Amino acid sequence: MTRLRIAAIGFVIGIATLLPATECKSQQVDSERRLSAAEGIEFFESKIRPVLVRECYGCHSKNSGKARGGLQLDTKMGALLGGDSGPAIVPGSLEDSPLWSAINYEDFSMPPSKQLSHDIIGDFAAWIEMGAPDPRGQEKIQANATVTAEDIKQGKQFWSFQKPTKPSVPDVQNGQWSEHPIDRFVLQKLEANDLEPAADADPHTLLRRLCFDLIGLPPTGEQIQWFLSQWHQDPDQAVVQAVDFLLDSERFGERWGRHWLDVARYAESSGKEINATFPHAWRYRDYVIDAFNQDKPYDQFVREQIAGDLLPVKTDEDWTENLIATGFLAIGPKTLTEQNPRQFSMDLIDEQIDVATRVVLGISVACARCHDHKFDPIPQSDYYAMAGIFMSTNTYYGTLDTQQNRRPSRLIELPIDDPNSFDRSLSESEIQQLKEQLEQKAAEFQELLQSRRQARRNPESQVNPQNLFRQVAVVRTQMAALESVLESYDEQGQPRSFCMGVQPADRPVNAHLLVRGEIDQPAQEISRGFVQVISGGPIKVRENSTGRLELARWMTSDQNPLTARVMVNRIWQHLLGQGIVETTENFGSTGQPPSHPALLDYLAVSFMESDWSIKSLIRQVATSRTYRMSSQFDAESFDVDPDNRWLWRASPRRLDAEVLRDAMLSISDQLTTERPRASNVAKGGETVVRNGNLRNTADLVLAGSMMARDDRRPMADANSDQMDRRRDFRRRAAARTGRPNVTAISLDPMTDYRSVYLPIVRDNIPRSLAVFDFAESSMVVGQRETSNTPDQGLYFMNNEFVIRQSDLFAQRLLDHSSQVSEQIEQAFLLAYGRPGTEREQAAARDFYDSFETGGNDEAAERLRCLCQAIMAAAEFRISN
């Protein structure tokens, strides 16, 4: 596909190389013109450098702190590397040097204040044609590593960098407790610390725990009944059956997929200053959920996300799926305001390296961007070996090209058509209308540029340059919106289907090591490769290969010491409350050592042996006696092990935000289990988030009201008169095209869908999620916080959604029975998965009898307030 962007500023993310290909060209300069080296330098010093300092450094130098258009002209490297428009100078070629056309006031008009004199322009011509000799900063930098080969060899001895081997199941004293291998490993540690395992949890508690852990929903009344009857026949068998049932449920992927989305820092917008939407990110979300439901082998799951675009496929369906999977590398937060394309590119690459290594390998390589890793033997060169892989990769994330967005990109069109449900088709006349609008705007744009050029050439001109600047910005944004909409449709007005993701660059390159990570301090070139300390031997990336597929295969090889360990540890944490390695993203020397190293290795090897099946592993853990223990407090054990590192009981856990919201919907019998198509963010198309709302760009464009002003300008100075006029303008614009005003799309919609499908826009997380420690969506979050804040109190006491669910819950109880005592009984059973205790029931009855609402429908309101209180109480949000 091609997605045109405004012509003036086109760029590709995966910049080709840090050393410009143009260097070699300088050798081809016509020898006749070539002066001696000394003469060339002399010419530069006398004719060129003073002009650069006087006319250009103000906006294009490190000293002035500015790099307008991404360009810095105070070093040779800067001039050759160029800015947004590519290299500024191509030695020997006037035609290819944007600097030349700029000083001639062609594409750009530089310097903007006044055109250079004819003589000076002539000097530049001579200088460029003689090969642009430039003595500034020519010394080659060779960065020396402080991490030696010996350090790396030593480092390989660290436990987590050694390949796991399957340990034998240990002998224990209390062999009757359990035959299960997991239990033997756990019991061994307990016995070594003079601890005893807690008794089994009662069936109510256990079923509730299983349901929350496996599918994120509370057990229904029927499920409780069924489980109890099975339990009385054979508890072990009951657990096995329940686990199988839950693993087979489609709800499983919605729960476990979300765990993955936490570490994959999933979100549907760029975050940061502009917060442009990612209307196609939901495809990645659904891909993840489906992968968990299908029990896709974990190694394959990782390969698809790191290099899905490069994997061989048989069908377009598989190809589509693999492309969507690479969204993993594209959905991170983006600083779209970054002026310097190389800085942006290196930051993007850094984010990709950071996420890939911390999520999959549980080590942090990104520290080595600026210096050799202080703790683990990861030299800076390892980082730049990986950087070369991602530098040879183009990342596609879209985003609406507004004036402030300096870094929009293209998207990937899917091999098979799969428009989202919000994409209505357009009529031919609508398409035509949009095209005409675009032509009109393009003409307007050219006119504005022309008058801006004239204004610059003629300082006496009456035109206010600030106004002109704004007009250019407005028209550019309007064009971008029109183009964005037009590109989303084919010629017949049918919506096209896109995803976010990556593609290999045309020509793989190596990165240069950057001293202190600074883009203008390149040192030696580093061959593409991986982190040495966890590689078995030296790994070669073929010259014509980006190395990303090799990286994905190396990560998921059964020789890799970390990948399986890291994932089984995550799974263990989600089931037992804490990881065997508590620092789930840090298996390096600064992380916590494993509490049960043999168990970790046993699980890791079993995981690989069972074809990396996540469901098998969960089944194994959930059917262990360790998992089944009660969380009952025991003072003596607590004295020995207050943090429960040795697992003498089950750790009580606060439920995740999604689980709490889904549980309320479930007990009020409102939960819609059907998956909604796409997301509210998709409804808006490519746009920017404003005041917690979105508006659909296509609708705005068709309503003729697309950003009639530069919307990013602060509004603080606008007086009410201006506001009125703006509103009036928009009303008239809408009336003219016969369309109503475009309604806002809520980012916190009142829906009955499962929470995993709520829109996840950075810095605009729905309240029901944000209030209960939702994963910060700009970061890799392996463990969520569990805070207790007054905001949570306000939410449960006063929130509209909570009150609505308590209304419906009460209604459900009224339908269940007309007896208050039975209503109360049922309320506790549904909310807590067990009958209320005597005290709870008595307190509830007291409350019911004495509560005075002063309202009309006294009985219903009493029951509602009772239901709300039961949901608000601690028991509801804790899994015991």
Of positions 855, 857, 858, 859, contacts other proteins by CB under 8 A: 855
Bridge partners of residue 200, in order along the sequence: 629
Nearest C-alpha neighbor of 356 from the set 257, 285, 265, 268: 265
**Least Å distance between CB 251 and other proteins?**
26
Coil vs helix vs strand at 399: coil
Only one of the segments 6-14, 663-671, 778-786, 816-824 lies at the binding site for other proteins (rule: CB under 8 A); that segment is 778-786
**Least Å distance between CB 771 and other proteins?**
8
Binding mask 155-194 for other proteins (x = CB under 8 A): ----------------------------------------
**Least Å distance between CB 116 and other proteins?**
12
**Least Å distance between CB 146 and other proteins?**
16
User: What is the DSSP secondary structure assignment for residue 112, as one 8-state letter?
Assistant: S
Binding mask 16-55 for other proteins (x = CB under 8 A): --------------------------------------xx
- Two tokens, residue 608: 């690989």
Identify the helix (H) or strand (E) that includes residue 306.
helix 298-307
Does 785 engage in binding with other proteins (CB under 8 A)? yes
Does 65 engage in binding with other proteins (CB under 8 A)? yes
- Two tokens, residue 512: 């240069």
Of positions 103, 311, 534, 869, contacts other proteins by CB under 8 A: 869
Cβ atoms of residues 347 and 370 within 8 Å = no
Does 196 engage in binding with other proteins (CB under 8 A)? no
Of positions 139, 222, 460, 852, contacts other proteins by CB under 8 A: 852
Where in 622-681 is the site for other proteins (CB under 8 A)? 631, 633, 635, 638-639, 642, 652, 654
For the chain, the residue count is 880
Only one of the segments 16-24, 298-306, 423-431, 797-805 lies at the binding site for other proteins (rule: CB under 8 A); that segment is 797-805
The smaller minimum CB distance to other proteins, of residues 421 and 464, is found at 464
The smaller minimum CB distance to other proteins, of residues 283 and 654, is found at 654
Where in 687-706 is the site for other proteins (CB under 8 A)? 689-692
Cβ atoms of residues 409 and 395 within 8 Å = yes
Identify the helix (H) or strand (E) that includes residue 502.
strand 501-504
Dihedral of CA 12/17/19/22: which sign?
negative
The smaller minimum CB distance to other proteins, of residues 339 and 610, is found at 339
How far CA 832 is from CA of 161, 221, 660, 818, 829, in Å, comes to 44, 11, 12, 21, 6
Report the first-to-last Cα separation within the chain, whole angstroms: 53
Contacts of range 309-314, beta carbons closer than 8 Å, 24 or more positions apart: 309/501, 309/502, 309/503, 309/504, 310/504, 310/546, 310/548, 310/549, 310/552, 311/549
The smaller minimum CB distance to other proteins, of residues 339 and 557, is found at 339
Cβ atoms of residues 662 and 217 within 8 Å = yes
Cβ atoms of residues 386 and 367 within 8 Å = no
Where in 381-420 is the site for other proteins (CB under 8 A)? none
- Two tokens, residue 414: 């899917």
Cβ atoms of residues 405 and 476 within 8 Å = no
Identify the helix (H) or strand (E) that includes residue 871.
helix 858-872
**Least Å distance between CB 792 and other proteins?**
6
Longest dimension (CA), the chain: 105
Q: Which residues fall within 8 angstroms of residue 483, CB to CB, at 6 or more apart?
A: 3, 4, 5, 6, 401, 438
The smaller minimum CB distance to other proteins, of residues 588 and 759, is found at 588
The smaller minimum CB distance to other proteins, of residues 21 and 794, is found at 794
How many Cα atoms sit within 13 Å of 200 on the Cβ side?
A: 15
Where in 433-452 is the site for other proteins (CB under 8 A)? none
Cβ atoms of residues 364 and 585 within 8 Å = yes
Of positions 714, 738, 849, 856, contacts other proteins by CB under 8 A: 714
Coil vs helix vs strand at 862: helix
Q: Work out the angle between the directed axes of helices 820-832 and 800-816 (0-180°, nearest 10).
A: 130
Where in 96-115 is the site for other proteins (CB under 8 A)? 111, 113
The smaller minimum CB distance to other proteins, of residues 183 and 585, is found at 585
Of positions 767, 814, 820, 860, contacts other proteins by CB under 8 A: 767
**Least Å distance between CB 259 and other proteins?**
19
**Least Å distance between CB 604 and other proteins?**
21
- CA–CA separation, 674 and 824 (whole Å): 30
Only one of the segments 91-99, 229-237, 811-819, 864-872 lies at the binding site for other proteins (rule: CB under 8 A); that segment is 864-872
Does 813 engage in binding with other proteins (CB under 8 A)? no
How far CA 15 is from CA of 69, 395, 407, 646, in Å, comes to 16, 11, 13, 50
The smaller minimum CB distance to other proteins, of residues 148 and 464, is found at 464
State the number of binding residues for other proteins (CB under 8 A).
Answer: 101
Does 861 engage in binding with other proteins (CB under 8 A)? yes
Binding mask 303-342 for other proteins (x = CB under 8 A): ------------------------------x-x-xxx---
**Least Å distance between CB 584 and other proteins?**
11
Cβ atoms of residues 207 and 242 within 8 Å = yes
The smaller minimum CB distance to other proteins, of residues 315 and 786, is found at 786
The smaller minimum CB distance to other proteins, of residues 55 and 423, is found at 55
**Least Å distance between CB 720 and other proteins?**
7
- CA–CA separation, 614 and 197 (whole Å): 26
How many Cα atoms sit within 13 Å of 780 on the Cβ side?
A: 22
- CA–CA separation, 408 and 403 (whole Å): 10
**Least Å distance between CB 65 and other proteins?**
5
Does 853 engage in binding with other proteins (CB under 8 A)? yes
Where in 357-376 is the site for other proteins (CB under 8 A)? 358, 364, 367, 374-375
Of positions 238, 247, 274, 499, contacts other proteins by CB under 8 A: 274
Identify the helix (H) or strand (E) that includes residue 514.
strand 511-514
**Least Å distance between CB 131 and other proteins?**
27
Does 738 engage in binding with other proteins (CB under 8 A)? no
Does 794 engage in binding with other proteins (CB under 8 A)? yes
**Least Å distance between CB 851 and other proteins?**
6
